[in-house]
Structure 1
Amino acid sequence: MKSIVIILATLALIDLNEAAGAQTVELSAYIESLCPDSRNFINNQLKPVYDKLKAAEPQILTINLVPFGNAKLTFVSNSTVQPKLTFTCQHKAAECDGNIIQPKSNVF
């Protein structure tokens, strides 16, 4: 449901941009590299809309996939050791690794 709201909001912004001279709309989607729901959203909702808009107006939409999603950032500070920053991902360590690699392969 949230995905549909995001897409509708994007389309509304695009409509406003057409009236204002067809400026580029930037959309950021916070996803998880191993999450089946994230993959489903990208493949079945985001990509088809992106392809349609790209065919009609190539410069109208820029998509930024942010692979952080449902992750937790923890800062541990202790007087005996150096402060440490850790990430915990919903789908375990492999997802954290994927989230690190994914920005380098942003296809949009």
Structure 2
Amino acid sequence: MAVMMAGIFWLAIIFSLTAVGQKIDSESYSSLAGISRTTRSLADDDKLKVTVYYETLCPDSVSFITYQLVPAWGRYRAQMDLKLVPFGKSYIDESNPSRPVYHCQHGRKECTLNILHGCILDKLPFDKAFAVVGCLMQSMRTSFDKCIVLHETAKAEIQECARGNQGAKLYKRFSDETNRVATPLSFVPTIEVNGVYDIFEQDQWLYRFDRTFRQEYGKKFNQTL
């Protein structure tokens, strides 16, 4: 009987420890999930922060993202804290706050696509969102249906965002962020590094992004990529 009671006692302890462990694991997972949705985390302290302000139907944006940014991201994503702001030289007429009117450099379709990109970036983890955006920017005729195929479960939520108030709120935020750099931007795309926009360095970033990123990373962190 004493042996049986001892066995039950130890089983109770093991069950208790297992339950605690599951609780800790669950809490840790929730915490990590929350961190993954934020713009920056402690792990980003050793990354070079790059913000790209672009337009979805801008030929220069298409060329830069496709031929400069996408390849560099593939090589240096562990060293780059990348942010995309799809607004460019757009303008929001808020003379009637309840019905804002969007004006975009390349027409109404561009405004619609800018908002769609914003919702993609909001609804998917950045790695996945960037892959979808990169796909869309390969050509001005690339379809959302084609590029979202690997993330079908998020498709309806993204479309709902783009059609509704959430997309409008995101676009207003992108407007504020872009206007903080310049109103309007002198050129699209515009690249900001570590929160600093340097008009004299733009050509280096636009046409020699890989080399310029390595140089700036080396200066900041004293490391060679």
Shorter-normalised TM-score: what interval?
A: 0.5 to 0.7
* Aligned with residue 91 of structure 2, among 72, 75, 78: 72
Residue in 1 aligned with 2:82?
63
Matching residue of 1:34: 57
1:90 is aligned to 105
Q: Which letter does structure 2 place at the counterpart of 1:101? A: L
For normalisation by structure 2, the TM-score amounts to: 0.32
What's the counterpart of residue 102 of structure 1? 117
TM-score with structure 1 length normalisation?
0.62
Can you give the 5+ residue segments of structure 1 that lack an aligned partner in the other structure? 1-21
Give 1:47's aligned residue: 70
Counterpart of 1:97, as a letter, is: T
Structure 2 gaps, min length 5: 1-44, 122-128, 132-225
Counterpart of 1:76 in 2: which secondary structure?
coil
Q: Which residue of 1 aligns with 2:47?
A: 24
Shift of 1:35: 1.3
Give CA deviations for 1:6-47 in whole Å, capped at 9, x if unaligned.
xxxxxxxxxxxxxxxx61222111111111110101011112
Per the TM alignment, residue 83 of structure 1 is displaced from its structure 2 partner at its CA by 5.0
